[in-house]
Amino acid sequence: MTEALDRKLERFQQSAISEVFELFVRIFTVTLSSAVMLPYDIKISSVKVMTFKDYLQTVQVPASINSFKIDPLDGHGLMVLDSKLVWSLLHAFYGGYGEPDTCFYRRTFSPMEMRLANRLTVSGLEDLQFGWKMIAPVKISYLSAESEPEKVDIIHGDSIVVICTIDVMVGSTPDRMAVCIPYVHFESYFSQPRAVDRHKTPVVKDINDYLNSGYFLSPVQPFLQKTITSFPKELATDETTEKTKPEADPQSDPQMKAYLADIDAESLANCLIHEHPQTIALILANITDNSKKSILMNRLPVKLRPEVEERMNYLLSIPSGVLTEIEEVLKEQIEAAE
């Protein structure tokens, strides 16, 4: 079995389609770094071939396990975000430095974390689709998300899959994500030549414009948006790739403050109690009523209060759209509780 898998991996690596992951990583590095204005270093850690059931056994709970459809291949794949990556990205998007929270762990994701992970996945799938289109036309559509591997059933457990593990670093410690695609979906590309000399490298002009590349079926529209314009003839180096970072909104917003002012402290406390301390800090920073802020702080576990207060003192600017996302999730939670 091992020898057969090694031969499949060798055949994959020698084909043009193996470049899909390389192109995806390059584009997604620009997308993520520009969105949060932090120097993310994203690299492929490994590419392996194994059975689907063996791969699922390596996924640690919780994880953001997102399934997607690939047309016209009539197949499905997974984009998996490790829990540490989700919490590190939340830290970056919600006004922190993006460093991993080594002391924070929970067996499940909160509603805010699930929404952020879904948004990031959709944007990642956009970049994967664009990288794939540079080799062959496809349309990738987001389907659903799970946090437990045993609930994922996109193909038979004995089916062979290609696993691309990716390191995402903003500090010294890498967090991980992975792309899992059935091996059979790549076989039709094995006879094609490698694409180094016949494809172009994207130049990101404005991260806030949306790449209208046919990705319309997702129920969750991305807020990490990008436009790809004209390309040089050959693959560009990092020095020749233009990168323009967006202007970020401050960590406070008048609309958000008005919404939080209208919510009673009890309802809001029930929402915050399950959230990450960075999320709590960002929400409390948008509450102008000090008495309400004090009530909410006192509802938190005693050990959590100093950490939330410290994070409130060091909030940085956040990407556009984050506060709108938080407001939408709060509305959904409060309406569901009524």
Q: 194-227: per-residue pLDDT in tens?
A: 544 444 434 333 333 333 333 333 334 444 444 3
Cα gap 247→124, rounded to integer Å: 21
pLDDT for the residue 107:
73
| Counts for the chain of helices (H) and strands (E), in that order | 11, 6
Read off the pLDDT of residues 245-294 as tens digits, 9 standing for 90 and up: 334 444 567 888 888 899 889 999 999 988 999 999 999 999 999 999 99
Cα gap 294→173, rounded to integer Å: 35
Read off the pLDDT of residues 284-338 as tens digits, 9 standing for 90 and up: 999 999 999 999 999 998 988 999 999 998 888 888 788 888 999 999 998 888 7
CATH of the domain spanning 254-337, picked from 1.10.357.10, 1.20.200.10, 1.10.10.10, 1.10.220.30: 1.10.220.30
Task: Output the 3-class SS for 24-61.
Answer: HHHHHHHHHHHHHCCCCEEEEEEEEEEEHHHHHHHCCC
Closest by Cα among 193, 274, 198, 207 to 243: 207
Using the predicted structure, report yes or no on whether residue 17 has a pLDDT greater than 80.
Answer: no
Closest by Cα among 260, 187, 202, 194 to 34: 202
In the chain, what are the helix, strand and coil shares in percent, each to the nearest 5?
Answer: 45, 15, 40
Cα gap 68→55, rounded to integer Å: 17
CA-only gyration radius of the chain, Å: 21
Q: Which residues of the chain are in CATH 3.40.1550.10 domains?
A: 2-189
41 and 28 in contact (C-beta within 8 Å)?
no
Using the predicted structure, report yes or no on whether residue 19 has a pLDDT greater than 50.
Answer: yes
pTM above 0.75, yes or no: yes
Structure tokens at 281: 């800090």
Task: Please name the CATH architecture into which domain 2-189 falls.
Answer: 3-Layer(aba) Sandwich (3.40)
pLDDT for the residue 242:
38
Handedness of CA 84, 54, 13, 66 (dihedral sign): negative
Chain center to CA of 263? 30
pLDDT for the residue 104:
60
Q: Which residues of the chain are in CATH 1.10.220.30 domains?
A: 254-337
* Residues whose CB falls within 8 Å of the CB of residue 153, separated by 6 or more in sequence, listed in order: none
Q: What confidence category does residue 154 fall into, taking pLDDT thresholds of 50, 70 and 90?
A: confident
